[in-house]
A = this chain, B = another copy of it.
């Protein structure tokens, strides 16, 4: 578990930053918060998510924090570290919550002062909602927490980040390289969002809403999307995502070819393959196989 005597500063009290604050404060840790929205700070103070807060980059809070967690969008994170990162004191461990890692981790590590260690991580617990007022709805227990260490990281820093995840309540904590992480996230998350958005944008079929069953609703639930955040995530990972879209599209065109050619056997072959592969996912659903491998 995390050391009790360290002060944790969370910069960006959105859905995830807010949840971090809620859980850590609830467990008795000293948590401070910075967010450019004064209402957010007041909301967090009122509920004791944080014991001190500021609606601007308050130097005194940054300088006196032992641990810093960035709950910011990638571009905002880079901008913040460029301007105020020098205030973070040596010996401090720093992490983030960004959904993409290439283009983010190396610059942040380079910009931070000597002696400050940035251990990047990604709590895969996002939702369709955003903002601290929805934080209580977030559930870390079934979600994956991915640590993406680089050669700049120490075993102690990585262990701290895993301790943080355990303290937050994640049961599934794994490490991936930055390249592995971004390839994985392009497939299991971004491609799904690209498909759901495209399905909703394809035509105005809201008149058919009365007839939609579970399949359509499940497929499009994630089409309700925070547009600023997801435009960032998509663009930071565009090569991977374009590759995944093309791979998916090739399969869809193969299915279309079977249809156009009346190829019943071809369709059945695809259906059998998809059934077998999906069953493997169901099996894994029962036993959380990912474990803390640090």
Contact = CB atoms under 8 A, between A and B. Distances in A.
Interface of A: 124-125, 143-144, 146, 172, 174, 184, 187-189, 191-206, 208-213, 215-228, 230-231, 234-235, 238, 241-242, 244-256, 259-260, 262, 264, 267-268, 270-275, 277-282, 284-285, 289-290
B208 A187 contact: yes
A225 B274 contact: yes
B270 A197 contact: yes
Nearest to A172: B210
Among A191, A209, A228, the most chain B Cβ lie within 10 Å of the Cβ of A209
Given A199-B191, A249-B249, A278-B223, A268 B212 contact: no
A115 to B, nearest CB: 33
A188 B201 contact: no
Contacts of A249: 249, 252-253
Copies per complex of this chain: 2
Contacts of A289: 209-210
A170 to B, nearest CB: 12
Contacts of A194: 252, 255
A166 B40 CA distance: 50
Contacts of A197: 251, 255, 270-271, 274
A248 B202 CA distance: 5
A193 B215 contact: yes
A274 B201 contact: yes
6 contacts: A144-B211, A188-B213, A192-B215, A197-B255, A227-B272, A238-B260
Contacts of A193: 215
A22 to B, nearest CB: 21
B238 A259 contact: yes
